[in-house]
Structure 1
Amino acid sequence: MPYATARIPGSKSATARALFLAALADGRTTLRDPLVSDDTVAFAEGLRALGFPVTRERGVWTVDGRPAGPPATEATLWCHDSGTTARFLPGLAALGKGRYEVDASEQMRVRPMGPLLAALRQLGVDVTAQPGDRLPWVVEADGVAGGEVVIDAGTSSQYLTALCLMAPATAAGLRIHVTDLVSVPYVDMTLAMMRDFGVEASRSGMTITIPAGGYRAGEHAIEPDASTASYFFAAAAVTGNTVTVPGLGRDSHQGDLRFAAEVLPRMGCRVEVTADSTTVTGPERLRSPGEVVMRDISDTMMTLAAIAPFADAPVRISDVANCRVKESDRIDAITEALEACGITTRSGPDWLEVDPGTPRAAEVKTRADHRIAMSISVTGLRAPGITLDDPGCVRKTFPGFHEEFAALREAWR
């Protein structure tokens, strides 16, 4: 059985959270193996604009934290295309004392931000936004007293994560009442990383209570990105080969590892998750898993859709309405991509269904969405001639994706 090892860069989600936590920690924090991509560099530059000293060297980033909040009294925070940056940095800026402008690309300006704006205003933060609660925002900050706040995180868990991360730096801490929630594992990841930095949150049902107090600086290693690893696991699934991703094991904070651990076994793959690695071996023919509810792991929705044509029956993916408000309308984007390759699909507001078929060569529109490019690259393993109109969009989370994917194919060959 052809075997390969895939070297996956650090988790985008973990890198962004670690940067936020380090900024509010008491002392210098060292991050080992952070993700270096457009999104994480935008976040690091945002911290610098807020006055936090950040150094970026190969494999090691350091942040000098300040529990009292941003040192700068005025800053422009340019978030590029990064939803994580645009949703986290306003919460960090609110803890400062001064005027901060938050802006981003045209793509990010049309993405939803309203629930975060409403929550910050509940906490007394003066925020001026564009019509429809869109960016750019101006935050007139004078610290945050804390207390009770209600948040709707049914569109994005990042709104809730922003509140959780900023909570210990408020005067009285936060008691957060959540009315709706998507992508629960990302919130679990947030609370686990806060614990690693010395702050313990309590959770009862849909209420999270976080005390005031500081984060603890230290050294933290960033594990490989489970969402990115899904493309390499899927590659093994559709080719019948074996791939191991080291550094991503059973103690991972990332919910998207469930794609390999739970979804692929339903499709006939052999999966082994150890303490420090995950290995996937594909079957001779993929089975359809039937319907897969992906509300909690929706970043891997397109990965599943990309391999669905090779299953022995239709594959239905449900409860993924939030995928319509990501970097692109991902339900529409992946169905368009598959149909361009001759695959029959059906879709609705929060679901899609993919029929078995033999994909044909075509140029796929990525819509500047890194996950479309990486997902369809997996389909292309069994359909020579599929090309991407913008292969460079993978810079957002994995600048070296195409090279690593080529190395995977070569190792199997």
Structure 2
Amino acid sequence: MTDTPAHAAGRAARIPGSKSITNRALLLAAAATGTSRLRSPLVSADTVAFRTALENLGCRVERQSHDQVWEVTGAGCGPTGDAHVWCEDAGTAARFLPPFVATGHGRFVFDGSAQLRARPLGPLAETLTALGGTVTTGPSGGLPMTVGADGLDGGAITVDSSLSSQFLSGLLMAAPLMRSPVAFTVDSLVSRPYIAMTLALMRRFGAKVTERPGDVIEVQPGGYGSATLTVEPDASTASYVFAAATVTGTTVTVPGLGRGSLQGDLRFVDVLRRLGARVQVTESATVVAGDGRLRGGFSVDMGEISDTFMTLAAIAPLADAPITVRGIAHARLKESDRIAAVAQNLRALGVDTDEGRDWITIHPGSPLGTRIACRRDHRIGMAFSVLGLRVPGITLDDPSCVGKTFPGFHEELRRLFPPTSRPASPLRQGSR
């Protein structure tokens, strides 16, 4: 990402903390010796579910300053005892917590919503078994998962990361608690920036990690120490206000999200540059300015920033030529089949859309207002709300789905882009 001049700072968006950083930091703090302080954590359905799960496993989390600071007291090891852990819809809880408990002692049962039960866990269960754990999964290879824990051995292991990088992140974070060093050979890694984030946070909490040629990551035993961490604004969530500025011809600044960010999804602003937006990334903030006109006619691989592909796809009909997004097969295994969900909603809007296993092409069009099928997926709801800033009559069948990562999303979108300055609200009348 290189800086280019943008407009004056414009309005400052109030973007909540990163979900990915918050939940990783929670786990690392729970595994550490001593008390850690997490400043500006994300408070949302997913992070509260993760925090509650850790509390059920015996971790103490003290909330201070109206949830602006969480103090986490860890035991320096995996949990001991028996517990039932409810993950709700949180994929990070279902992927990060089983390796953590497997380093402890006891019997732990994980379960979650029907939506979460549909998400795969097979590669994680296979790897935990190879490391010495006792694991059973539900009939479809997902939740409910039972872990019989008596510590993990470590050693050399190959991790299939073709479906989700979260499998590898969960195993990496548990590795310093294993009995011997672990050498992970990574096979078919998707969403690589999230692994870089995991490793950076592990080092922040004192882990000894070495990256070797050939996608090999070596982790030494020795546990974690406590740390103090300020959680950055969520770059995936920021993609919606950056896209909104692009399509409405305005300027938005996200303070606290700049050079040195741990989050790969900040690279979404590079895609907006291709659409014609002006972008400035400084040490302390990112500014995006649009003029309301979108340049299409390109193909972009968003495999490493797939949580933002829906943001692009939702506004792509406003471009002057087709746009193809590729490299996103793993997005079919998220909260919803996100390629199918985007294609279905664009077609309902009257937009010509083509799709394949790992790609989608959106053609220019004149979208007509319709009811968006969110599929209980927060990113579908937020992405099409941005299109609603330009297209009258777009409504959401489930406005509250945004609470998974940004409970105040609709209010913040109205504040930044008030109804008097745009054609229509993306909300159903009277909904919150």
Q: With the length of structure 2 as denominator, give the TM-score of the two structures.
A: 0.93
Residue pair 2:369, 2:391 contacting (<8 A) in 1 also? yes
Residues 321-360 of structure 1: CA deviation (Å, up to 9, x unaligned)? 0011100000010111111111110001100000111211
User: Is residue 282 of structure 1 aligned with residue 267 of structure 2?
Assistant: no
1:246 is matched by which residue type in structure 2?
P
Per mean C-alpha deviation after superposition, the further-off stretch among 144-153 and 181-190 is 144-153
Q: Which residue of 14, 19, 29 corresponds with 1:22?
A: 29
Match of 2:425 in 1: none
Match of 2:38 in 1: 31
Does residue 273 (structure 1) correspond to residue 278 (structure 2)? The answer is no
> Which residue of 1 is the match for residue 166 of structure 2?
158
Query: Per-residue CA shift, 1:16-51, capped at 9, x if unaligned?
Result: 100011011110001000000111011101111111
Aligned equivalent of 1:47: 54
Look up the SS of the partner of 1:131 in the other structure: coil
Report if aligned partners of 1:4, 1:411 keep a CA contact under 8 Å in 2.
no
Q: Secondary structure at the match of 1:139?
A: strand
* 8 A contact 2:137–2:145 mirrored in 1: yes
Q: 1:340 maps to which residue?
A: 348
Counterpart pick for 1:238 among 220, 226, 247? 247
The code of the aligned residue for 1:31 comes to: L
| Aligned-partner residue type, residue 74 of structure 2 | G
Change (3 A) 1:182 1:77: same
Residue equivalent to 1:64: 73
1:205-262 CA-to-partner distances (Å, cap 9, x unmatched) read 21100111121202110000000000000001111110000000011000000001x1
Write the mapping of 1:190-269 to structure 2, written as runs, cut at 5 A: 190-204=198-212, 205-260=214-269, 262-269=270-277
User: Is the Cα contact below 8 Å between 2:351 and 2:367 reproduced in 1?
Assistant: yes
Q: Hey, what does 1:133 align to over in structure 2?
A: 141
Q: Is the 8 A contact 2:125 2:136 kept in 1?
A: no
SS in 1 for 2:414: helix
Match of 2:328 among 315, 320, 342: 320
Q: Does 1:388 align with 2:396?
A: yes
How far apart are 1:90 and its partner, in Å? 0.4
Deviation at 1:132, TM superposition (A): 2.9
- Answer yes or no: is the 8 Å Cα contact 2:297–2:320 preserved in 1: no
Distance 2:134 2:71 in 1: 31
Q: Distance in 2 between matches of 1:65 and 1:112?
A: 29
Cα deviation, residue 410, structure 1: 2.7
Q: Secondary structure at the match of 1:135?
A: coil
Question: Residue 4 of structure 1 contacts residue 412 of structure 1 at CA under 8 Å; is this kept in 2?
Answer: no
SS at match of 1:134: coil
Report the residue type matching 1:164 in the other structure: L
For residues 236 and 209 of structure 2, what CA distance do their matches in structure 1 show? 26
Please give the residue correspondences for 1:361-376 in structure 2 after superposition, counting only pairs within 5 Å.
361-376=369-384
- Structure 1 residue runs of 5 or longer lacking an equivalent are none
> Aligned to 1:18, what secondary structure does the other structure show?
helix
Q: 1:198 offset after TM fit, Å?
A: 1.4
Deviation at 1:85, TM superposition (A): 0.8
Other-structure match for 2:4: none
Aligned to 1:122: 130
* Most deviating of 403-412 and 318-327: 403-412
Q: Structure 2: which amino acid aligns with 1:239? A: T
Residue 408 (structure 1) aligned with residue 424 (structure 2): no
**What amino acid is the match of 1:6?**
A
The answer to whether structure 1 residue 188 and structure 2 residue 210 are counterparts is no
User: Alpha-carbon deviations, 1:63-84, whole Å to 9, x = none?
Assistant: 11112211x4011110001111
Matching residue's letter, 1:269: A
Cα displacement (A) at 1:289: 5.4
1:389 Cα deviation from its structure 2 partner: 0.4
Q: Distance in 2 between matches of 1:412 and 1:306?
A: 22
State the alpha-carbon separation in 2 of the partners of residues 35 and 244 from structure 1. 19
Q: Structure 1 CA distance, aligned partners of 2:194 and 2:166?
A: 8
Deviates more, 1:47-56 or 1:182-191: 47-56
Residue in structure 1 matching 2:18, options 6, 11, 17: 11
| Secondary structure, counterpart of 2:188 in structure 1 | strand
Deviation at 1:171, TM superposition (A): 1.1
Give the TM-score, by structure 1 length: 0.97
Query: Could you tell me whether the CA contact under 8 Å between 1:266 and 1:289 is conserved in 2?
Result: no
RMSD: 1.3
